[in-house]
Amino acid sequence: VTRSDGVIVSGGLGPTSDDKTKDAICKFVEVNMVEHKEILDDIKQRFSKRGVDMPEPNKEQAYQPEGAILFRNPVGTAYGFEVYKDEKPIIALPGVPAEMKAIMVESVIPSLKEKGFGLSDLHILDAKVVGLAESAVYDAVGPLREWAEKRESICLAYYPHFVDVTVRVKVRGEEEFAEKMFKEAKSILEDILGEKLYGYGEDGLEIVVGKLLRQNGMTISTAESCTGGLVSNRIVSVPGASDYFLGGVVAYSNEAKSNLLGVSEKTLSTFGAVSPETAEEMALGVRKKFASNIAVSTTGIAGPTGGTAEKPVGLVYVGWSYDNELGSKKLMLGEMTRDRVRLYTSQMALDVARRILSGMSLE
Quick: pLDDT tens for 79-88.
999 999 999 9
**Helix (H) or strand (E) run with residue 171 in it:** strand 164-172
| 360: pLDDT strictly greater than 80 | yes
CA dist., res. 19 & res. 11, Å (int): 8
**Helix (H) or strand (E) run with residue 59 in it:** none
pTM (two decimals): 0.84
**Helix (H) or strand (E) run with residue 245 in it:** strand 245-250
Averaged confidence pLDDT in the chain: 96
Domains, the chain, ranges and CATH?
7-114 (3.40.980.10), 122-200 (3.30.70.2860), 205-357 (3.90.950.20)
| 363: pLDDT strictly greater than 80 | no
DSSP 70-136: EE--SSSS--EEEEEETTEEEEEE-SSHHHHHHHIIIIIHHHHHHTT-S-TTEEEEEEEEESS-HHH
| 117: pLDDT strictly greater than 90 | no
Quick: pLDDT tens for 234-271.
999 999 999 999 999 999 999 999 999 999 999 999 99
CA dist., res. 124 & res. 322, Å (int): 37
5: confidence class by pLDDT, cuts 50, 70, 90: confident
